[in-house]
């Protein structure tokens, strides 16, 4: 099933209405769809290099809108949210998440996790729904989503624009590890900055 969906997304990237399809895929991927918009972004930018900023903005904006939709699925449609969480194997972790958010360390930990979910190959959709289920602050959720998704899609768009097929080969071999490493590094830097400010407070 996933291979067929992957191939379908590649076909949509070559369609004359590819930008509309990119917006749609970016939206639904943030709440339930398993194929990330990166699959479409790379070939679209390579074939239309002058549009790389537009492609980056479309994927970012509609991904964040989709994340907000996922958040409200979790917040107001509990059964649907739980079903999606169960599908991706995260249902059992909800109780621990709620308990951890009751203290400041848990709150900041969720910030880091949410950033990693938006930036790395972690299933972002799971964490958009989970944020709604556990009642995480919606404005902070939107802000973190905008930063993480925007950073990820800008990197993918820019490097596709700059290096073309070489970047495609790199992503195929090392993409997941590369994004995960960068994401973890950013979170660690954030933790260090937080601890420095906290020690001087």
In sequence order, which residues have a C-beta less than 8 Å from that of residue 16 and are 6 or more positions away?
A: none
**Average pLDDT rounded to a whole number, residues 85-101:** 67
Task: Give the count of domains, the chain.
Answer: 1
b/e sequence 151-175, b meaning 16+ C-beta within 10 Å: bbbbbbbebbbeeeeebbeebeeeb
- The C-alpha atoms of residue 119 and residue 183 are separated, in whole angstroms, by 6
* More confident site: 132 or 197: 132
**Residue 25 corresponds to which tokens in the numbers above?**
């895929």
Higher pLDDT, 122 or 99: 122
Supply the pLDDT for residue 25.
Answer: 94
Name the CA radius of gyration of the chain, rounded: 17
What confidence tens digit (pLDDT) does each residue in 145-180 have?
A: 999 999 999 988 998 888 877 777 776 676 666 666
Question: Which tens digits make up the pLDDT trace of 9-41?
Answer: 778 888 888 899 999 999 999 888 888 888 889
Per residue in 133-142, pLDDT (tens digit) is: 888 889 999 9
Residue bearing the bigger pLDDT, 142 or 106:
142
Which residue has better confidence, 95 or 128? 128
Question: Helices (DSSP H) in the chain: which residue ranges?
Answer: 2-13, 18-29, 38-47, 52-76, 78-87, 94-100, 104-119, 124-133, 138-163, 165-199
- What pLDDT, on a 0 to 100 scale, did the predictor assign at position 6? 72
Distance CA 32, CA 67 (A): 10
Closest of 6, 43, 26, 23 to residue 167, by C-alpha: 43
pLDDT score recorded for residue 165: 77
Share of the chain above pLDDT 90, in %: 24
- The whole-angstrom separation of Cα 199 and Cα 3 is 50
Can you give the pLDDT at residue 97?
A: 64
Identify the top-confidence range among 38-52, 80-94, 178-192. Answer: 38-52
Grouping H, G, I as helix, E, B as strand and the rest as coil, residue 93 is helix
Which domain covers residue 88, as residue numbers?
A: 2-199
Structure confidence at residue 85 (pLDDT) = 77
């Amino acid at each position: 099933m996933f291979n067929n969906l992957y191939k379908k997304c590649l076909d949509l990237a070559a369609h004359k209405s590819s930008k509309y399809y990119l917006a749609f895929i970016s939206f639904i991927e943030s709440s339930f769809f398993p194929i990330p918009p990166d699959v479409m972004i790379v070939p679209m930018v390579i074939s239309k290099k002058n549009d790389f900023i537009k492609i980056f903005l479309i994927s970012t904006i509609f991904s964040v809108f989709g994340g907000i939709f996922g958040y409200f699925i979790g917040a107001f449609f509990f059964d649907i949210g739980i079903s999606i969480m169960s599908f991706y194997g995260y249902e059992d972790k909800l109780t621990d998440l709620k308990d951890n958010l009751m203290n400041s360390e848990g709150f900041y930990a969720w910030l880091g996790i949410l950033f990693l979910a938006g930036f790395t190959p972690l299933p972002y959709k799971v964490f958009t729904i989970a944020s709604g289920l556990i009642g995480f602050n919606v404005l902070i959720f939107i802000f973190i989503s905008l930063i993480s998704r925007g950073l990820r899609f800008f990197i993918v768009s820019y490097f596709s624009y700059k290096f073309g097929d070489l970047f495609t080969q790199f992503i195929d071999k090392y993409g997941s590890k590369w994004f995960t490493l960068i994401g973890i590094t950013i979170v660690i830097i954030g933790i260090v900055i937080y601890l420095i400010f906290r020690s001087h407070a």
